[in-house]
Amino acid sequence: MSPDSAPSQTSPVAFSTTLHARVLRHDPDWGMSTLYFGDGELRVPMVAGPIDSGVAVTIDARDVSVALSRPMDVSITNRLPGTIVEVVHLDAPFARVRFDLGTTLLDALVTWESVERLALEPGLRAWAMIKSVAIGNAAVRPSDLPTPRRWPVVRNPGRAPR
């Protein structure tokens, strides 16, 4: 097979999830940062943002793997428990598996073969796994997180302060 006729190694479909997170800590010895989002933590290559700053993290669905039991002896650092809420067969051989992590929906792109072999279906509890190195510098950008609103001060002129 000539290089011109080799099958494409990239998926013709692209799904991604963008999470808004805070920089929780930096680990310069490892070259890694920990980000906190509503459903857990992500370990990513060191980000430039200071601790407590906001970032937007884009995770490509092709970088998300699925495990049926808690992954233990694997090199993938980011392992998030969730429930599969949707499995959509796309053009062969691709399928989109949507996870509900609690407050976040995360897409994984897998093959039809994996869907069948693992019997993936809505309602199934599973683990979404994301390699830290898949979340590179281009995937993490500065972002303004909402500032918590102040509680309104209610003053009652007819009532004496305590």
pLDDT in tens, 88-107: 999 999 999 999 999 999 99
Tell whether 4 is covered by a domain: no
Per the structure, the complete domain to which residue 26 belongs is given by 14-142
Tell whether 87 is covered by a domain: yes
Tell whether 120 is covered by a domain: yes
Residue 121 vs residue 135, higher pLDDT? 121
CB contact set of 5 (below 8 Å; sequence gap of 6+): none
Tell whether 6 is covered by a domain: no
Tell whether 149 is covered by a domain: no
Kindly state the DSSP code that residue 12 receives in the 8-state scheme: S
Cα 5 to its chain centre, rounded Å, is 34
Number of structural domains (the chain) is: 1
- Whole-number percent of the chain with pLDDT over 90: 72
Tell whether 159 is covered by a domain: no
Structure tokens at 81: 């428990």
Tell whether 44 is covered by a domain: yes
Residue 160 vs residue 91, higher pLDDT? 91
- The CATH number linked to 26 is 2.40.50.100
Task: Return d(Cα 55, Cα 161) in angstroms, integer.
Answer: 42
pLDDT 10s digits, 141-151: 888 666 666 77
